[in-house]
Amino acid sequence: MKLLTHNLLSSHVPGLRPGGGFPLRIEAAEVRVRPVPFNAAFVSRLVPRLRWEALREAAESLGRPSELPPEPLPDYEADEEFLRRLHHVLLEVEVLEGSLQCPDSGRRFPISRGVPNMLLSEDQ
Amino acid sequence: VHRLRSVDNLFVVVQELKDYQFKENKEDALKDLEDLVKKLPWTDPLKVWELNNSLKKKKTKRKKHNLQSPASREKLSDGGEEGGADQNNTNDQKDCAQNPVAVEPSGGQDTENPRGVASRNGVEEEEDNEQSDVKVEAQASSERGTKTGDGQTGEGEAKVLRFRVTCNRAGDKHSFTSNEAARDFGGAVQEHFQWKADMTNFDVEVLLNIHNNEVVVGIALTEESLHRRNITHFGPTTLRSTLAYGMLRLCDPQPTDIIVDPMCGTGAIPIEGAAEWPYCYHIAGDNSPQAVKRAANNICSLLRKNESKDSSTALGVPLDIIQWDICNLPLRTGSVDIVVTDMPFGKRIGSKKKNWDLYPACLMEMGRICTPGTGRAVLLTQDKKCFAKALSRVGHIWRRAQTVWVNVGGLHAAVYLLRRTSERAEERRPFW
């Protein structure tokens, strides 16, 4: 699971308050870094759609020093170094084993071989 | 032309007979076909076939080509542009049999997904014999000799080729079977050319496509149908990559679009997406653990193909898989640009009865995760009645923009392009 995906995921355990399912807390047992071709325009256009704080927390929880500033820099479109760091965090760091935890309900969703299992059991 | 992504098979047409009257009697009908062989204009198509062969083998026989005179090398590079597929292409034609890996998207000359053409193999591409190329070929042909597989430098005479005839027949009123037609046509071909018949190790595959009263004779340019590229692990209803490509094109992905297939099965659509639209982000999901496993395996195969020669790690692709329930997607509201999926037809997967509940639930969830105003969905289904009913219930979030009829394994299915209205969805719809 890449961190860009994580930024879009939200827990859907029934009965949560609105927005209560985001962001999921990552507990990573195994992480892999794999290079992905960099495209500045692609990364830069993603910025407005990201939940920035959640992304920072996610990066930190993976034990990576937070390479990202507290907020996207002004004029980030032109700042290639910033974009490259963002690209790295979003696409090149993958959680292979671990789990995602719903912030409100505490319910855990396992991640196995890079694939999170978000299925709720029958009784929920 | 080999790079066209929505084409299943490529062949050069020898002759197209639009309204062929088959004799009632089987023997007569077959005899007619045999006679046809002598009357067909074989020379030009065969030259195209030779050219195609040499292009295919160019990668492996590079050394041989370098020994050739500059004139013929130039001619080969002209031939590379013959199809006009992509004017910017380099001369690397990859061998078709190895399933070309992500190449830049084909330029001007594209074929749309089958529009109401009920053909057996998806789209058939006809290759025009352009006059200029034929002329150039005539000059160089004596030099090139025959460039069939074994790399013998020919003396300018046609050597004995091995061939087979494949007959595809559709229609009720024929007095003969495809096997009979193939056999007799093949016999005539053998007599005419003195080629050797070989069903498995052949150089030339002659195609005899009979569809009711239309007969098309062609010579195959692709060795196996291109519809299985990118997929190594198949499931019960794996979508052809060519169809997946067509569906993706229909939703016109823009760079940075987030594209989700929430019922991905073996992942045919997201994998095709990641290969052809690498500047979008693709998410695949399914509720079935087998499907998820197969999709993951297919991605591994794709990554292995992408391995660069220099490094040992394969480059990643902008694609992730998640196991989830389509009726309750764990995605933020309005976070996704495009939803593309092959909905369960209710035949091999699920049932028509289940679809009555499933379809509306799907459309609601897809509507919730899609960005209002700019979002779109491209959905394939054969259960058109159920779909239409479900769509009428969600008119406040989805508007039908276009419908394309397709033939999927003999079933009359439809691909619906939907546009997301500007109405915002509730954060979480009430518990069903």
Nearest CA in chain B to A12: B330
Is B21 in the A-facing interface, judged by CB distances under 8 Å? Answer: no
CATH number of residue B358's parent domain: 3.40.50.150
- The answer to whether residue B176 is domain-embedded is yes
Is B310 in the A-facing interface, judged by CB distances under 8 Å? Answer: no
CB contact under 8 A, A36 and B315: yes
Chain A residues with CB-CB distance to B under 8 A? 1-2, 4-5, 8-12, 14-16, 18-19, 21-22, 34-37, 39, 41-42, 45-46, 49, 51, 91-92, 94, 109, 113-120
A48: tokens are 């407005």
Which residues pair with residue B15 across a beta bridge?
B217
Radius of gyration of chain A (CA): 15
- The answer to whether residue B121 is domain-embedded is no
| Selection from B5, B10, B4 nearest residue B225 by Cα | B10
Residues B402, B300 within the same domain = yes
| Selection from B118, B119, B380 nearest residue B239 by Cα | B380
**Residue B147 has what pLDDT?**
31
CA distance A4 to chain B (A): 9
Distance, in Å, from the CA atom of B287 to the CA atom of B264, rounded to the nearest integer, reads 9
Which whole-number Å values give the CA distances from A44 to A6, A54, A89, B214, in the listed order?
18, 18, 13, 54
Distance, in Å, from the CA atom of B248 to the CA atom of B340, rounded to the nearest integer, reads 7
Is B158 in the A-facing interface, judged by CB distances under 8 Å? Answer: no
Tell me how crowded residue B260 is: count the other CB atoms within 10 A of its CB.
28
Is-contact B426 A19, C-beta < 8 A?
no
CA dihedral B296, B300, B303, B309 (to 10 degrees): 170
- The answer to whether residue B126 is domain-embedded is no
- The answer to whether residue B290 is domain-embedded is yes
Nearest CA in chain B to A14: B431
Amino acid at site B262: P
CB contact under 8 A, B296 and A118: no
**Residue A114 has what pLDDT?**
93
**Residue A66 has what pLDDT?**
64
> Tens of pLDDT along chain B (432 residues)?
555 655 556 676 767 776 666 676 777 777 777 777 777 777 777 777 777 777 665 533 333 333 333 333 333 333 332 332 332 222 223 323 223 222 223 322 233 333 322 233 333 333 333 233 333 333 333 333 333 333 333 333 456 788 888 888 887 777 888 888 888 888 888 888 888 888 877 788 888 888 877 888 888 776 655 455 656 666 666 677 778 888 998 988 998 899 999 999 888 899 989 988 989 999 999 999 999 998 998 888 888 776 655 556 678 889 999 999 999 999 999 999 999 999 887 777 777 788 888 899 999 999 999 999 999 999 999 888 899 999 999 999 999 999 988 877 777 889 999 999 998 877 555 444
Residues B336, B373 within the same domain = yes
CA distance B249 to chain A (A): 19
**Residue B286 has what pLDDT?**
94
Residues B180, B296 within the same domain = no
Residues B184, B296 within the same domain = no
Residues B184, B45 within the same domain = yes
Residues B304, B371 within the same domain = yes
Query: With contacts defined as CB-CB under 8 Å, which chain B residues touch A88?
Result: none
B316 vs A36, A41, A46: nearest CB:
A36
Residues B182, B290 within the same domain = no
Give the DSSP letter string of B198-255: -SSS-SEEEEEEEETTEEEEEEE-SSS-GGGTT--S--TTPPPHHHHHHHHHHT-PPT
Residues B196, B284 within the same domain = no
CB contact under 8 A, B315 and A115: no
Domain range holding B330?
A: 241-308+315-420
Distance, in Å, from the CA atom of A67 to the CA atom of A60, rounded to the nearest integer, reads 9
Residues B213, B249 within the same domain = no
- The answer to whether residue B298 is domain-embedded is yes
Decide the pairing of beta strands B258-261 and B338-342. parallel
Half-sphere exposure of B352 (CA within 13 A, CB side): 7
**Residue B427 has what pLDDT?**
58
- The answer to whether residue B134 is domain-embedded is no
Query: With contacts defined as CB-CB under 8 Å, which chain B residues touch A11?
Result: 330
Chain centroid to Cα B371, Å, comes to 30
CA distance B237 to chain A (A): 22
Residues B187, B319 within the same domain = no
> Tens of pLDDT along chain A (124 residues)?
999 999 999 998 888 888 788 899 999 999 999 999 898 888 998 998 899 999 999 998 987 766 788 888 888 888 888 999 999 999 999 999 999 999 998 999 999 999 999 998 755 4
**Tens of pLDDT along B328-358?**
999 999 999 999 999 887 777 777 788 888 8
Query: With contacts defined as CB-CB under 8 Å, which chain A residues touch B316?
Result: 34-36, 91-92, 94
Is-contact B127 B2, C-beta < 8 A?
no
Nearest CA in chain B to A1: B320
Nearest CA in chain B to A43: B256
CA distance A66 to chain B (A): 22
Is-contact B336 A21, C-beta < 8 A?
no
Is B198 in the A-facing interface, judged by CB distances under 8 Å? Answer: no
A73: tokens are 């820099």
**Tens of pLDDT along B230-286?**
566 666 666 777 788 889 989 889 988 999 999 998 888 999 899 889 899 999 999
CA distance B285 to chain A (A): 10
Q: A53 Cβ partners below 8 Å, 6+ apart?
A: none
Is-contact B127 B13, C-beta < 8 A?
yes
**What domains are defined for chain A?**
3-116 (2.20.25.10)
- The burial of A5, by beta-carbon neighbours within 10 Å (0-12 exposed, 13-18 middle, 19 or more buried), is given as buried
**Residue B110 has what pLDDT?**
31
What are B364-367's contacts with CB under 8 Å, separation 24+? Answer: B364/B394, B364/B397, B364/B429, B365/B262, B365/B326, B365/B327, B365/B328, B365/B329, B366/B262, B366/B339, B366/B398, B367/B394, B367/B397, B367/B398, B367/B420, B367/B425
CB contact under 8 A, A16 and B330: no
| Selection from B406, B404, B405, B379 nearest residue B391 by Cα | B379
Distance, in Å, from the CA atom of B78 to the CA atom of B70, rounded to the nearest integer, reads 12
What's the total number of domains in chain B?
2
CA distance A116 to chain B (A): 5
Distance, in Å, from the CA atom of A65 to the CA atom of B79, rounded to the nearest integer, reads 54
CA distance A108 to chain B (A): 13
**Residue B412 has what pLDDT?**
85
CB contact under 8 A, A115 and B428: no
Which residues pair with residue A98 across a beta bridge?
A28, A111
CA distance A36 to chain B (A): 5
**Residue A89 has what pLDDT?**
92
Residues B288, B411 within the same domain = yes
- The answer to whether residue B67 is domain-embedded is no
**Residue B96 has what pLDDT?**
30
Give the residue from B261, B280, B281 with the most A CB atoms within 10 Å of its CB, the best one to mutate: B281
The size of the A-B interface in CB pairs under 8 A is: 92
Residues B192, B257 within the same domain = no
Is B430 in the A-facing interface, judged by CB distances under 8 Å? Answer: no
- The answer to whether residue B247 is domain-embedded is yes
Indicate the pTM of the whole model: 0.64
Query: With contacts defined as CB-CB under 8 Å, which chain A residues touch B324?
Result: 118-119
Task: Give me the phi and psi of B377, to 5 degrees please.
Answer: -135, 140
| Selection from A86, A103, A87, A89 nearest residue A26 by Cα | A103
* Helix (H) or strand (E) run with residue B281 in it: strand B281-286
Question: What angle in degrees, to the nearest 10, is found between the helix axes of B268-276 and B289-306?
Answer: 20
Query: With contacts defined as CB-CB under 8 Å, which chain B residues touch A9?
Result: 322, 330-332
Q: B70: alpha, beta or left, given left = phi > 0 and alpha = psi -120 to 50? A: alpha
| Selection from B217, B184, B265, B288 nearest residue B44 by Cα | B217
- What is the DSSP-derived secondary structure letter of residue B350? S
CATH number of residue B213's parent domain: 3.30.2130.30
